[in-house]
Chain A
Amino acid sequence: MNKELLIETKQLQKKYVTDTVETTALAGVDLSITKGEFVAIMGPSGCGKSTLLNILGLLDSPSGGVFKFLGEDITNASERQRAKIRKQNLGFVFQSFNLIDELTVEENIGLPLAYLGVSKAETEKRVMEAMERMGIAHRRNHFPQQLSGGQQQRAAIARATVSNPSLILADEPTGNLDSVHGREVMALLTELNEAGTTVVMVTHSPSDAEYAHRIVNLFDGQIVTENLNVRKHVAELL
């Protein structure tokens, strides 16, 4: 694979220090993700997978090591720089959807564009496209609590993709959904990935992980195995 590196980490560390206890969440993680990949991160509770995802998503900063995004070392980037990278390159999907209760579906989806300073007409157009893609256009004027879980997650994915990010980070995206809706969400993520978006997903579910190209197994803050998803590659080759 000679594709361009999107993310590169060297000996990434994260320690949480409370009054008496020091907890190591990440103990030297070396991970490279190229553009267009679909990576699943797995591991038992407390292994550090969410911490890793948060750092990759620039929501948290590492305590040690090097973190490069698109070849640029941003290990010690300021909060403002990181916010800028977030809004230009990243999209997030959460287990609990995290839609803003006071905004309608349409307004929630348009939010990233508002912070990017996209014009009103352009926003309207792109939000409409995203909603249609996710099949929730008919729910545009509803508030999140008026939607089913599946619909909420589709709205959340629409919001994560509306700004055409190069990377989507998904934290247990099917965790709060039944299996039918869960499969639906995974299909959407796959579709996005096939359209060229890099996807990094944290999951407990082996069946969800099956959608990824590569599965990274984390244990006690370290990568223990890194497997190519053979079935997926074979499927693509065929």
Chain B
Amino acid sequence: MWQNYFKVALRNIYRNKVYAAINIAGLALGVASCLLIFLYVQDELSYESHFSKADRIVRVAGEIEHEGQVNKFALSPPVLAPILLKDYPELERVTQLANARKQTIWYKNKSYNEENLLFADSSFFHVFDYEFLAGDPATALDEPRTIVVSEQLADKYFGGAEQAIGQVLKFSRDSYMVTGVFRDQGHSHIQANAFLSRSTLDTKRQDVITDDNHWFHMNRYTYVLLRDKSQIAPFQEKLKTFAATHVTPWIKENELAANMTFMLQPLPSIHFNTVYTDDLSPAGNINYIYIFAAVAVFLLLIASINYMNLATARSAKRAKEVGLRKVVGAYRSQIIGQFIGESLLITLLAVVLALALVQILIPTFNALTGKHFDANFFLQPEIALALFAIILFIGAIAGSYPAIFLSGFKPVDVLKSDKSPKGGSAALRRTLVVIQFMISLIMIIGTIVVFSQMQFLKNRDLGFNKERILTIDIPVGDSMLVKQLPTIKQELLSNPNIESVSNSADIPAESNSTILIFAEKNGATLQNAMDVMFVDYDFVDVMGIQVKEGRNYSRNYKTDLKGGLIINEAAAKKMGWKDPIGKRIQMADWDAKVIGVVKDFHVKSLHTKVAPLILALVPESSGYLLVRLKPQNMPATIGFIQEKWQAFDTKHPMEYFFMDEHFDKQYRAEEKMLTVFGYFAGLTIFIACLGLFGLASFTAEQRTKEIGIRKVLGSSTGSIVLLLSRDFALLVLIAIVLAIPVAWYGMDKWLQDFAYRTNLSWWIFALAGFAAMSIALLTVSFQAIRAALQDPVKAIRTQ
């Protein structure tokens, strides 16, 4: 019997190539997108899963509350770790990481800049069980000046893991001996190329990272391994009193006006942390996971709807067969089985095609998402299972309605040659088309909104001129080089195509320090935590920041050094100063008066509002060298700068970037999202139109006789096209009306993530509606015109 069904199914596919192609292509596109999205989601959710103790590890994040404002840091102070371990027996281990960021490493007279370097203490590998290719994880970081490197680094420097052990890598101050090599594996928010022994820091104080008992020195990432995962919630409960016992007395003693609390972040959730700042790696956005999962379901749904609509619409063609099978004794259940089997077969063909599509698309998808998916992914059991589920889902869901509908035909009704049954419920079909277009429209509107927001972000006046600022990343810890900075600046300025040069510790789009300040207000002293950027005399000029009140730093005023400070408007506002110039601020070793107020400029991405900020003068700041270029002849100027710089810095390769690109990097996650989402939006409308195309050709076919009679009676081609297109246009119109409020609500929510956002203006909706309507009409009218141009005699006769 199955053989018989199979033959009939295959022959039906073969005889109705267009419909079969629409169904299979639509489903294949849907399934292929679904697979890609599945890979993406699975990948995003796989963070930390390779650590065997992941479910028992939590990170302790510090929150500092000051004047009602809460700053949430992924960081915590060094002093926290030993106290936690002492006070809470349920903790098996406590380990801390400190970010050493980027350093220059010398090996055999060559130097390399290496990123993602972390200081870790000796218990780190007891908590995070990295797989070691060489060395002993239990003892690798016990000794000062030891380093555990990644497999990749070991290969790069020593040509293999075994060879790496015992070798010495020279950093700017110390040399570290390699005691272990770990395998690069899995996804983790800890992206490390090497772990340096933290005990090195205890042997002498180093200016990058300092150890002390200051509770507000937030420069460690503290991870706790609990003995049992059920203790996480009780431990969080206990931590509520921790600050009262340990931190509050210290705050009182130091007369500080702030409060501190500690929150736990379960390890697997850290990748999606968007609350705590200064994390080790950029966070993933869990909302995007939800959105993509929804998109996957939508795509499958739209393709399934095509199948349902075309199958029932064309059911008249199958009616005779159903009637006959019943006449010769088929049970209804057997006929249902046959049609569900048929839809399973179509789905299976679609899945095979989808797998081929995915093979072709994987490199592009990798480029879009920045991930590294393997083309052989479908050999994974999870994927195979997902595929199986997809086949069942579509085969059964999309197949069951046509199956139940078709199997309900009565032989008496369908076997008489003068009767042909109506092709299923037209109302249901219309509803499904409306749903398809509604989904497509929502996605199109979404894409346009995201795109216009991106444009808005990029074109918004940042309060400084980000164009043509070549930024050199000055290597850390090279005091000789720092001393020569004024000379370098002089030499650079000799080139007429260089407008100005500044050296600063901080730049926009990089994290800056938050410092406790004491400021006067109405004769009293206010305590405040405030963002500070350390800059030189030229920073304001090079950046193109506007001075609103007072003046910029000047070499002519000796008192500007530690005696003067520039603040931004937001800071003045926060202090409640009507006339900020001359107000007193104390911080660290500054005892200063405000000498200038600059117009607010964006240091961080436009997700956040401009925060109060102090520009503090430190002429020898040596984080970055900012070079403002003239638009003329930029490649030559860059060459000139490179040559000059390397003349002074012979040890490190020069690293530079442009400020505008660097700033826009902050939106890369959104941009990736936009691109991927845009493609999927295009796909949904394409698949929906495939279905519409099929339905339109079905309608034209069904109304051949009517069209013929109308033409005989003198109807014009135009009016027939109109007649056939009108119904579909109405459906799309309904979809537009329904989609707009849903899209408006969703996109308004998305925009709430940005402190500065574009308006949801009417043209976005109009454009999307117009686009959908045009595409739909184009699809339908193709069929309508074909039908209208047919010879009427033929139409009447064939009926």
Contact = CB atoms under 8 A, between A and B. Distances in A.
A115 B325 CA distance: 9
Contact of A95 (B12, B321, B417): B417
A109 to B, nearest CB: 10
Contacts of A116: 329
Interface stretch (A80-88, A194-202, A214-222): A80-88
B4, B325, B328, B330: which has the most chain A beta carbons within 10 Å?
B328
B636 interface: no
Contacts of B323: 98
A159 interface: yes
A80 B410 CA distance: 13
B411 interface: yes
Contacts of A94: 415
Interface residues of B, number: 26
Interface string B304-331: 0000000000000000110111111111
A227 to B, nearest CB: 28
Interface string B1-38: 10010011001100100000000000000000000000
Given A59-B412, A96-B417, A98-B323, A83 B329 contact: yes
Nearest to B4: A114
A86 B327 contact: yes
B525 interface: no
Interface string B438-478: 00000000000000000000000000000000000000000
A112 B328 contact: yes
A96 to B, nearest CB: 4
Interface in B232-280: none
B415 A115 contact: no
Interface string A135-157: 00000000000000000000000
A159 to B, nearest CB: 7
Interface bin, chain A: 20 to 34
Nearest to A57: B327
B334 interface: yes
B326 A83 contact: yes
A59 B327 contact: yes
B321 A102 contact: yes
Contacts of B187: none
Contact of A107 (B7, B320, B326, B327): B7
A92 interface: yes
Q: Is chain A's binding surface mostly helix, strand, loop or mixed?
A: helix
A86 B329 contact: yes
Nearest to B2: A114
B332 interface: yes
B697 to A, nearest CB: 20
B410 A59 contact: yes
A98 B324 contact: yes
B336 to A, nearest CB: 13
Contacts of A4: none
A226 interface: no
B329 A115 contact: yes
Interface in A44-77: 50, 54, 57, 59-60
A79 B326 CA distance: 10
B410 A111 contact: no
A98 B320 contact: yes
Contacts of A60: 410, 412
Contact of A115 (B8, B15, B330, B416): B330
A7 interface: no
B648 to A, nearest CB: 83
Given A86-B327, A96-B417, A98-B320, A103 B7 contact: yes
Contacts of A31: none
Contacts of A96: 415-417
A98 B325 CA distance: 10
A107 B326 CA distance: 16
A100 interface: yes
Interface in B313-372: 320-321, 323-332, 334
Contact of B329 (A50, A87, A99, A100): A87
Interface in A178-235: none
Most buried by B among A92, A102, A110, A116: A102
Nearest to A91: B328
A76 B416 CA distance: 24
A94 B418 CA distance: 13
Nearest to A85: B329
Contacts of B415: 94, 96, 98
Contacts of A83: 326, 329-332
A94 B328 CA distance: 12
A100 B330 contact: no
13 contacts: A59-B327, A60-B410, A83-B329, A87-B329, A94-B415, A95-B417, A98-B415, A100-B8, A100-B324, A103-B8, A110-B4, A112-B328, A115-B1
Interface of A: 50, 54, 57, 59-60, 79-80, 83-84, 86-88, 92, 94-96, 98-103, 107, 110-112, 114-116, 159
Interface of B: 1, 4, 7-8, 11-12, 15, 320-321, 323-332, 334, 410-412, 415-417
| 8 A-B pairs closest in CB distance | A87-B329, A96-B417, A112-B328, A102-B11, A86-B329, A115-B329, A102-B8, A59-B411
Given A80-B332, A87-B328, A98-B323, 4 more contacts: A80-B331, A100-B324, A107-B4, A111-B4
